A and B are shown apart, each in its own frame.
Chain A
Amino acid sequence: MRALVIEDETAVAKDLAQALGGAGFVVDVAGEGEDAWYKGSVEDYDVAVLDLGLPRIDGLSVLKRWRDGQRTFPVLILSARNDWTEKVAGIEAGADDYLGKPFEMGELIARVRGLVRRAAGRASSTIEVGDLLLDTHRMSATYSGRPIRLSQLEFRFLDYLAHQSGRAVSAGELAEHLYGADEPGDSNAIEALVVRLRRKMSPQVIETRRGFGYLLAGGHQV
């Protein structure tokens, strides 16, 4: 596992490198934006921890340049400002998670591991059901060619339905899949999720079969 740490404060950079090293990563460190952009563009990393307040090129611009250059490795943003304007800007620039300074090293390691696991678990494949195209690697979707931003939960919901080859799936089964068997089912939450997905894409994307459950449009078994 290779991780890139971009942090201009030497003490923090050293600590991050040490902690990530201890967690089994091979760590490269960049102290300013230009170096970070170069390293991220030419090397293959499994994850990057990116401080936003950097000399030369700021962190947000580095991230945008990576994403424009089709670098898709997960990025965890670190920031001292910790305000929502910056969080929104960071996520919209293509970050995968966000942590404010100062942070608990344990939490940072857990989040970095989470990002790597999510990215690594995805086979690089796409599933097409009707007008819906799911990219299981990037956990993203397009509907009628229009890119749709999905939360993890929404993606898992669509992914599960897409793998049912047109079978209607009950709210209870979906809740069990999404929340685990030991958690009590909540059909209201599933209903809310369906409403939200319909609003994001189209009212027709998910069909309701009364008494049976939900299925994706265009996935009917003949």
Chain B
Amino acid sequence: MPRSLRVRLLLGAAIAIFLALAAAWVAMTLLFERHVERRIEADLVRDGLQLAAALSIAANGAPALEREPGDARFFEPASGLYWQVSTQKGSLSSRSLWDQRLPDPKEVSSLDWYHSIVNGPFEQRVVLVARLIRPERAGSDVLVQLAHEQKSLHEAREEFGEELAAFLAMLWLILSIAAWVQVELGLRPLRHVRNEVDLLKRNPRERIAAAHVAEIEPLTNAINELAEARERDLGRARRRAADLAHGLKTPLAALSAQSRRAREAGATEAADGLDHAIAAATSAIEGELARSRAAAIRAAPSGDTTVALPLLESLVGVVEKTEFGAKLVFEVNVPDQLRVPVATEDLLEIAGALIENAARYARRRVRITGEATGAGCLIIEDDGPGIDSEKVSHALARGARLDEAGSGHGLGLAIANDLVDATRGQMTLVRSELAGLKVTIAWPAGQNVQDAVR
């Protein structure tokens, strides 16, 4: 069975139409044959009546004719059209019959013409009509027989059958095309649904528009419900990850209190061990959180875009409150309406990590620049010591480095890089003209933005 609904419907329609037309061909050919046969019989009966009208009985009891039927074929031997009148005493026949005789009918009456198809003269199959006629009231019966060969009947049927077949083949083609049009029209709403499902795949917040046709409505409703369930699940997964972090971090804070107490009680070594374990667990949690966020973005890119400037100003407002941020000047050179193809909360995480990282290492200044190249580009620079070029790839290595990098340059950069990568952007690190690190995050044109516009 073909997997395509269209092929199935088309194949089904073509076969059904073919079978119907074939049955019509057989039936119509039979009807035609019967019709022609009846016409021949009617002609024979007409000639028979002419014969009967001219018939008499001679004195010796043999039949006699005043005049023969005039059809030329009665005079040409083996022409296919024959007559014969006979009594027990003798018989007369057409010249076309020559030295042959028409076979005696199996049953015959004086009431009506007897019809049959029998083996006739000259090894021909013939249509035979026969009747008993009594020309004189007191005389004996005369058997009147007329025959017409069947071959011409067959030829007519074959000709008719061929012409009919050609016509029906054309009809089959036309009906199949009509069926194809019908299938296309019928399936069009499904194609709409498929396109919208494609959109939905790219953007989980997308929904299928109200049903185009009543039959599809249950399907679109079900898909929309599924999409909602998926979005809820995604949100739940994110919340669960955050809850997990909360659930682990608070006990870690409690553990850190224990460690402090142990240190106060003089158990420095035990406290060191505890602190080390706490730090490792903390960075593992941060790494896992960042990774699950990146995975969530990859699994379901939001297709959202965000106006960068207000969000960057908010982040600068937060970093300015921190110990190292308080001493710095933040230059924000971002056009008012610059949009980047990242959801607000994801851009907050990316830019937050980068701005905090820059602030941590800057001496006096952090510069944030926005450009409308591609689908959007942000540059974050500081005037700190910068990063060695051989450490760049190490700092950016996705996933693997998150746990090991600690809370230095590495963690913030690696988290941001992972998220940028998940949003199909690209992050590059070079030395800034301010002397420190210059981080460029750029999103190539023609991806998420287009999805969002559609």
Q: Which residues does A use to contact B, with CB under 8 Å? A: 9, 11-12, 14-15, 19, 53, 80-85, 87-88, 90-92, 95-98, 100-105, 111, 114, 149, 151-153, 179, 186, 188-190, 192-193, 195-196, 199
Contacts and interface: CB of A to CB of B under 8 A. Distances in A.
Given A81-B246, A84-B348, A192-B365, A15 B321 contact: no
For A19, A91, A179, the residue with the greatest tally of chain B CB atoms inside 10 Å of its CB is A91
Given A11-B254, A11-B257, A105-B257, A151 B245 contact: no
Given A101-B252, A151-B326, A92 B317 contact: yes
B438 interface: no
Nearest to B286: A82
Contacts of B286: 82
9 contacts: A88-B318, A97-B322, A101-B249, A102-B253, A111-B323, A186-B365, A188-B365, A195-B331, A196-B330
A191 B250 CA distance: 44
B417 to A, nearest CB: 16
B364 A189 contact: yes
Given A83-B289, A153-B326, 10 more contacts: A14-B257, A88-B317, A91-B321, A92-B317, A96-B321, A98-B322, A105-B256, A188-B364, A189-B383, A196-B331
Nearest to A84: B352
Interface of B: 242, 245-247, 249-258, 260-261, 278, 282, 286, 289, 314-318, 320-323, 325-332, 345, 348-349, 351-353, 363-365, 367, 383
A138 to B, nearest CB: 14
Contacts of A149: 317
Given A84-B315, A102-B255, A153 B327 contact: yes
Contacts of B327: 152-153, 179
Contacts of B363: 186
B382 to A, nearest CB: 12
A56 B253 CA distance: 22
B318 A192 contact: no
B348 A88 contact: yes
Contacts of A15: 253-254, 256-257, 260-261
A84 B330 contact: no
Nearest to B250: A9
Is the contact region of chain B dominated by helix, strand, or loop, or is it mixed?
helix
A154 B252 CA distance: 37
Nearest to A188: B365
Contact of A152 (B261, B318, B326): B326
Query: 10 closest pairs, A vs B, by CB?
Result: A15-B257, A84-B352, A151-B320, A189-B364, A11-B254, A80-B246, A80-B249, A102-B252, A102-B253, A101-B249
A98 B328 CA distance: 18
A9 B253 contact: yes
For A14, A85, A87, the residue with the greatest tally of chain B CB atoms inside 10 Å of its CB is A87
For B242, B253, B255, B348, the residue with the greatest tally of chain A CB atoms inside 10 Å of its CB is B253
A88 B331 contact: no
A138 B351 CA distance: 28
A217 B326 CA distance: 25
A12 B257 CA distance: 7
Contacts of B353: 84
For B318, B325, B329, B345, the residue with the greatest tally of chain A CB atoms inside 10 Å of its CB is B329
Contacts of B247: 80
A189 to B, nearest CB: 4
A92 B257 contact: no
B260 A105 contact: yes
Contacts of A114: 323
Contacts of A9: 250-251, 253-254
Contacts of B348: 83-85, 88
A83 B318 contact: no
Contacts of B249: 80, 82, 100-102
A177 B96 CA distance: 142
Nearest to A105: B260
A161 to B, nearest CB: 15
Contacts of B251: 9
Nearest to B407: A100
